[in-house]
Chains A and B, each alone.
Chain A
Amino acid sequence: MVTIYIDGVGYEVPAGTNLVDVAKFYADNDIPVFCYHPKMAPVGMCRMCLVEMGSVEKDKESGTVLLDEQGSPKIRWMPKMQTACTQTVYDGLAIRTNTQQVTEAREDIVEFLLTSHPLDCPICDKGGECPLQNLTMRHGPGVSVFYFEDKMHLAKHVPLGELIYLDRERCIQCARCIRFSDELAGDDVLAFHERGRALQIVTVSDPPFDSKFSGNTTDICPVGALTTADFRFGARPWELKEVPSIDPYGPEGANISLSTRLDRDSGGGIIIKRVMPRQNEHVNEIWISDKTRFGHHHTRHIDRLVTPLHREKNTLIETTWDKAFKQIIDKLKGATSVGAIAGPGLSNEDLWELRQLVLAVGGSEKSLGIWPATMSGGEVVKQVGIAKGSNFNTMGKGTVIVLVATDLEEEAPIWWLRAKAARDRGATVVVLNGRPTKMDRYAKFSLRHEYGDAVGAINSLTAHIVNGNHHKADRAEGFAELQKALKKVKADDRYAAAAEAIAGADNVVVFCGAEGVTLAQHAELMQACANVLILTGHVGRTNNGLIPVWPGANTQGAIDLGYTAEATAELLQNPPAVLIVAGCNPVGEDIAAANLRNADFVIVTSQFDTATTAIADVVLPQQSFAEREGTFTSGERRVQRFYAAQGVIGESFPDWKIFAQVRHAIDKSTAKVSAGAVMAEITKSVAAYSAMGYKNLAQVERQFPDVGGTDQYYGGTAYQNTGGIGVQWPVSAENAEAKLNVVPVSSEKSKAKGLLVVPTTLLYDRGMLFVRSEIMSLRIPPAHANFSPADAQKLKLQDGDMVEINLEGASLTVQIIVNETIPAGVITLPKCLSDQPGPFAPMVAGSIEKVAQALAATGD
């Protein structure tokens, strides 16, 4: 801590922090800024933050502060004003922000900025939450010496891609969007063109503004120059009611604000007008991906199911809840076996009630499956999951971030963004995957292994660590066996340097995905990652541990409540007599789910008609995340609340309510009446969730940097976190006494010969919810498969050809892309891009037939 003086008052503030942030947080002194943003490096371009600056005079020998006649410290002022945003605090720094000189400087800067800013406020989307508007009201001169006629008139509707529009006139050239895209998102697709008064934002990239984070630039734009195509003219900010919510798509648990308002076109009901980030410095800071921002249209889509359906003479027809319930209850009572598959968007409350129902009618934990069923390792997470209180914000030099078998930007963009930011602060990135991904650009060690050999790669790391005597075995249970097993492992030399970096690091975080591994291999892979972490002592401490890149928003919650992917695999193999599929579409997505047709009676809760509802006997309309309350557990095990934001569509019910009602009819248990009551029961029954009562989850804290609340200059009225920052549950490694299991893992590869089809995850897919956002339709790629040039040549295929790939009895028609980054012998096939189901686990391709020639390049 250091002492600084602001307007004559001394404050104790942390050393090395930015003066603007500190003045705001500790002294409640809003130094106005335009170009500065607390999440980006300062550039000092706009000059709005000019203050008088000086240093306290100290006695040269003793170092004590010299005092003047009044007893306040003597300060040596600099002759000219300085920009506050480019100054980090040091002991004895003094500033004056209330002098005439400063006031005049602010007036002049605002006046200059307004020389060419249009008087658009009435039609501007930013009007009402606009930093320029706010700062003009507060610091502006009121009159201008410049002529109105001299204002420049420029293009007002320049699309930067499909999602973002630029208004050239409004831009005040702060470069926040450019700096965000370039420095934080790593997509340098925006730039300044020309100079002086002709300076403009341009993009000539193809496709333009191709970034998964493009929407964030509209949030940080201090004027209305960047607006989203989605919200354009949707409402005035002061008419919107902000409802705290959680991203329903990704495992990061990004905090969002749903801006809601009544809408005539939707029959006068309350709807989501836009999705904005909500500040949570532990989770997503103030960023969200475009999928989160623009993927909300499913909540009020015209195709939403509004009534229960049941099967009569082989077609689904509308029915009432009473009849549907009766049918379900009859079937469940007499069922010989029951199973459930829970989708990625089910809240903890839904999952709990579904579990209770299945257990009540004779099911066991073995019949509770998750969807997508690609990842395993819940037990490993309980031991060595990332420690409570970890925060990517505090990672930098000394931290090693390891990415295993994951394309993090596509699977969990917010983690990618934060991991990259940590790397920019000095963290080392190690990437282990079968193909290069975007993170490889920033990786110190890019390690390629053969697909299917991810476990072997980690074993190599472990072997290097143990052979090099870098290990600490004091907490490891079963180390002797592991050591014995490792003797057989031939440690690949390529991994030596990375192993050393991991062993020598202060902190290590491992992201473990499931690209190119089967479910069985994934269990081994998670254990292999745990072995590395345990043996190098990177567990149980802040900023250390394992983060599984789960495929869904609440996969962690499902695993905490006893659901497993192994159970799903079993259910797919041997469908039970009565099957409940809640909020997912296995039949339409995975070829392995075709077997589900054989279940006698299938109950599906869904928001839309899917291939899975097509095999259902009863379909129940389910509420989307926006219509109900609940909690999600993020991949960092943070349990977070979301709140009801919009009106209920049709007769839909939340899943927990449906299952509670059914159970009530069967075992006469008291049906819970609110999501909070369900959570109260979870807190009593699940040890890890004992602190997760709704009251605890709704706790908020003041966050640094301060960007929400009454803030005048970081833009947006939605940042303020009123919904709670969530609570993490601790892993066993945090108990210093606890022994941690290290287990030898086999790195056996599949012996099957042929082209290996590896399913990959893309952020923008045709999942049943996301595909309803028409605005994103152009961003979702067509169904395609990536072939290596060698394989394409062998099969006489060309870029753009349509092929039919046969896979274990199913076939899939896709366009091929010849991609140099794909290793020979491998086809990567993104999941959920076509209406036909595809593989969810790597498998060897059968025949590959060309069905259509690539269209010849036209135009030249």
Chain B
Amino acid sequence: MGLINGLMTTIKHVLQEKATFQYPEVERPVRERYKGRHALKRYDNGMEKCIGCALCAAACPADAIWVEAAENTDDERYSPGERYAKTYEINMLRCIFCGYCEDACPTEAIVLEHEYKLSFTDRRDSIYTKDMLIDPVPPGGQDTPHQVEPHSYDRPIPDMENPK
């Protein structure tokens, strides 16, 4: 009897839907709040959200982020306001995907996305530069840097609302 009971369990599982995903042919969707590779976001008009404040680097417990800032001009504008990130690098070998950078960011420029397939054959490749991290220009937007009307983007965070 014990044997039949045991087999019944086996048979029940054989008939159930398969729990295994055939990775890499099939990729299992991740949860909405999954913390994968970072992305630097853009505004709808293509302007970079990142202002190069380096608060992410300050918040980073693994010291994985390196930011160097420079000054925008109206002829060569990357982001609203005076400051933008000239260099933005994340060392993915160091990163522990804690998401503190996301919390620290005052402009919601850095977001941990769902990409988790990070592999490299050289440790130097583990440094993701700004070009690799930044989102593509949204449709209708303009790539950075670009020329803008003088004084149209003097304020750093254009639509910042009353802090709640």
Contacts and interface: CB of A to CB of B under 8 A. Distances in A.
Direct contact of A and B (CB under 8 A): yes
Interface in A129-188: 147-149, 153, 156-157
A835 interface: no
28 contacts: A120-B156, A122-B106, A123-B51, A123-B52, A123-B53, A123-B156, A147-B162, A148-B162, A149-B162, A153-B155, A156-B154, A157-B82, A157-B154, A232-B71, A233-B52, A233-B69, A233-B71, A233-B82, A233-B83, A234-B69, A236-B54, A236-B58, A238-B58, A239-B57, A262-B66, A263-B68, A264-B68, A265-B68
A147 B71 CA distance: 30
Interface hub of A153, A233, A238 (most chain B Cβ within 10 A): A233
Query: Which 9 A/B pairs are nearest by Cβ-Cβ distance?
Result: A122-B53, A123-B83, A233-B69, A148-B162, A122-B106, A264-B87, A236-B54, A233-B83, A123-B51
Nearest to A234: B69
A119 interface: yes
A156 B58 contact: no
Contacts of B68: 235, 263-265
A239 B54 contact: yes
B29 interface: no
Given A233-B71, A264-B68, A119 B160 contact: yes
Nearest to B58: A238
A157 B55 CA distance: 23
Interface hub of A122, A149, A262 (most chain B Cβ within 10 A): A122
B81 A123 contact: yes
A233 B70 contact: yes
Given A123-B53, A123-B83, 20 more contacts: A119-B163, A120-B156, A122-B51, A122-B106, A123-B51, A123-B52, A123-B82, A123-B156, A147-B162, A148-B162, A148-B163, A149-B162, A156-B154, A157-B82, A233-B82, A236-B54, A239-B54, A239-B57, A264-B68, A264-B87
- Interface SS of A by simple majority: loop
Contacts of B52: 123, 233
Contacts of A263: 68
Interface residues of A, number: 22
Nearest to A262: B66
Nearest to A233: B69
Contacts of B155: 153, 156
A771 B107 CA distance: 40
A498 to B, nearest CB: 52
Contacts of A236: 53-54, 58
Contacts of B160: 119
A351 B66 CA distance: 41
Contacts of B54: 235-236, 239
A414 B34 CA distance: 58
A156 B154 CA distance: 7
B55 A122 contact: yes
Contacts of A119: 157, 160, 163
Interface string B35-79: 000000000000000011111011000000010111100000000
Interface in A212-233: 232-233
A149 B58 CA distance: 29
Nearest to B106: A122
Given A122-B53, A122-B55, A149-B162, A156 B82 contact: yes
A425 B53 CA distance: 44
A236 B71 CA distance: 14
B81 to A, nearest CB: 6
Interface in B121-164: 154-157, 160, 162-163
Nearest to A238: B58
Contacts of B154: 156-157
B150 to A, nearest CB: 11
Contacts of B87: 264
A265 B107 CA distance: 26
Nearest to B70: A233
B58 to A, nearest CB: 6
Interface in A249-283: 262-265
Contacts of B58: 236, 238-239
Nearest to A153: B155
Contacts of A157: 82, 154
Interface string B85-121: 0010000000000000000001100000000000000
Contacts of A235: 54, 68
A678 B66 CA distance: 39
Contacts of B107: 122
Contacts of B157: 119
Interface hub of B58, B83, B163 (most chain A Cβ within 10 A): B83
